[in-house]
Structure 1
Amino acid sequence: MRKPFIIANWKMHKNIEESVAFINQIKAALPQVSDEEVGIAAQAVALSSMKQTARGTNLQIIAQNAASELAGPYTGEISARSLADAGASYVMLGHLERRRLFHEDNQIINQKVRSALTTGITPIICTDDKMVQAEVNGEIHYVFDQLKGVLRDVAPAHLQKIVLSYEPSWAVGSSQTANPKVAQQGCQRIRQTVCNLYGSLLADQVRILYGGSVNPQNISAIMAQPDVDGALIGRASLRPDDFLEMVNWQQPVSNVM
């Protein structure tokens, strides 16, 4: 069974002090480790302090980006190895904002994925809804263009460690309400793409998150979809009470607070 995974993507919000205070507010009410995985993707400067504050909890500390190389003359970059040393157990790669604002393409993100895998840090690969025809084992399939490029030369054994995230381009940074059926359709298509590329066994095992306009009002309906294994949450994750309500989506609100 695929364990649910709820992630707050804070983007460039919250300094170190605010990040630590947030964790102190929520850590007593986080779900049990056996029930669900919970993570926060924060600015790199806060990761170490957050890791120390989160000790003894089910909270995963997540980096929002990593360099494509592990070391070298790359001013301003942070390697996956250094992020792991700072306390990150996961790293987001390929987010639409990285593609749009920093012109990262499939080749760059693929290099980042393969670099991260050598360090033991787990990639969370973000992909949107663009599909193309591709030949796989002599047959023509419709696959997610970004996913096919980003997973190039990634071995099946490594895919088992990777988390995938579906983010329709219209939904990133939008306040438009997320439609559970859209979330299911996108995640189902990603799972089918993985099946086409790696086979049904791995496709059934890989966790696929939905990102885009998730909030306390719609998370239960989104998580009820059979191919949705979690959520990547933006602005709605910035308030401790809202985040706790979402990570405890399986419980009545009165039992959370």
Structure 2
Amino acid sequence: MRKPFIAANWKMHKTVDDALQFVEEVKRRLPSEEILTCGIAAHFLALYPMVQQTQGINLGIIAQNSYDQFSGPFTGEVSPRALAAAGVKYVMCGHIERRTIFHEDNDLVAKKVAAVLQAGMTPIICTDETMVQKEFNGEVHYVFAQLMNVLHGVSFDQVKNVIISYEPSWAVGVGQHANPTLAEEGCRLIRQSIADTYSYEVADKIRILYGGSVNPDNIQKIMDKRDIDGVLIGRASLDADNFLTMVKRVAELYAPKAVKVSETKKK
């Protein structure tokens, strides 16, 4: 069973003090890491103090971005090596806002993914619904072209260490409504794309998140889908109680499954 990953993306919200207050409010109320993984993507200034405040608890700290080089004359950029040294565990790569506002293309995102892996962190690769038709073993499949271009050059061993987030453009933004059925279909096609390029065994192990207007009202319906292994939550994650409510609802879905898996392993 793939362990669920519940990640908050705060974007450019919260001061450092706000971020630390949030962590203080949630850190004693998070479920066991055996059931699911929790994470928060905050802005750069808050990352290191948040790492210090989350030692020993089920809350991984996520960078929203990093550069594709470890050092050099790149004013304003942040090195993946520096992030890793600060204790950051995950880095988002290719978020739709990075692509649309800052014009990041597949080539740059691919370089960032490679640098994050080299630094020993886990990239969370964001991708949208851009697809093409390709033939595999005589069958025509829909392939996530954007994602596969980013993964070009990522080896079998490396790809097992990535997380993918499906964030369709129709669902990202305030006022939109997440459709669990369409979300599941997108995540299923991503898994199929991974299987066609790597193997079904690899595809079965990779965690695929859904990002797009996730909130306390729809999170259980989304997480109840077979190919959705977690969520990347935007605005709804800014409130500590909201975040805890969503984590709790996912834990309620997965706790019985985690117990069954644990019992099976003991046998």
Superposition map of 1:1-257 within 5 A: 1-134=1-134, 141-250=141-250
Residue 115 of structure 2 aligns to which amino acid in structure 1?
S
Unpaired segments of 5 or more residues in structure 2? 253-267
Question: Is the Cα–Cα contact under 8 Å of residues 160 and 206 in structure 2 kept in the other structure?
Answer: yes
Q: Distance in 2 between matches of 1:125 and 1:137?
A: 27
Greater CA drift, 68-77 or 235-244: 68-77
Give the drift of 1:136.
6.1
Q: Distance in 2 between matches of 1:25 and 1:181?
A: 33
Residue 201 of structure 2 aligns to which amino acid in structure 1?
L
Give the drift of 1:171.
1.2
Q: Distance in 2 between matches of 1:220 and 1:140?
A: 32
Give the drift of 1:133.
2.6
Q: Distance in 1 between matches of 2:104 and 2:137?
A: 28
Q: Distance in 1 between matches of 2:79 and 2:86?
A: 11
Question: Is the Cα–Cα contact under 8 Å of residues 7 and 38 in structure 1 kept in the other structure?
Answer: yes
Give the drift of 1:14.
0.7
Question: Is the Cα–Cα contact under 8 Å of residues 174 and 212 in structure 1 kept in the other structure?
Answer: no
**What does the per-residue CA deviation read over 1:112-158, in whole Å, with 9 as the maximum and x for residues that have no partner?**
00011101011000000110134668976421011111001000101
Question: Is the Cα–Cα contact under 8 Å of residues 48 and 86 in structure 1 kept in the other structure?
Answer: yes
Give the drift of 1:175.
2.1
Question: Is the Cα–Cα contact under 8 Å of residues 136 and 197 in structure 1 kept in the other structure?
Answer: no
Q: Distance in 2 between matches of 1:48 and 1:226?
A: 35
Indicate the RMSD between aligned Cα atoms, in angstroms.
1.4
Partner SS for 2:214: coil
Sort the Cα spacing of 1:156 and 1:247 in 2 relative to 1 into closer, same or farther, 3 A. Answer: same
Unpaired segments of 5 or more residues in structure 1? 253-257
Sort the Cα spacing of 1:214 and 1:11 in 2 relative to 1 into closer, same or farther, 3 A. Answer: same
Q: Distance in 2 between matches of 1:68 and 1:85?
A: 16
Moved beyond 3 Å, runs of 4+: 134-141
Give the drift of 1:168.
0.6
Q: Distance in 2 between matches of 1:248 and 1:71?
A: 41
Give the drift of 1:176.
1.6
Q: Distance in 2 between matches of 1:162 and 1:185?
A: 20
What TM-score, normalized to structure 1? 0.95
Residue 149 of structure 1 aligns to which amino acid in structure 2?
N
Greater CA drift, 172-181 or 22-31: 172-181
Give the drift of 1:250.
3.7
**What does the per-residue CA deviation read over 1:158-212, in whole Å, with 9 as the maximum and x for residues that have no partner?**
1111000000111112322211101101100100000111010001000000000
- Map of 1:255 onto structure 2: none
What TM-score, normalized to structure 2? 0.91
Q: Distance in 1 between matches of 2:137 and 2:251?
A: 45
Question: Is the Cα–Cα contact under 8 Å of residues 35 and 251 in structure 2 kept in the other structure?
Answer: no
Partner SS for 2:189: helix
Question: Is the Cα–Cα contact under 8 Å of residues 163 and 207 in structure 1 kept in the other structure?
Answer: yes
Residue 6 of structure 1 aligns to which amino acid in structure 2?
I
Identity %: 54
Q: Distance in 1 between matches of 2:140 and 2:226?
A: 26
Aligned residues: 252
Residue 33 of structure 1 aligns to which amino acid in structure 2?
E
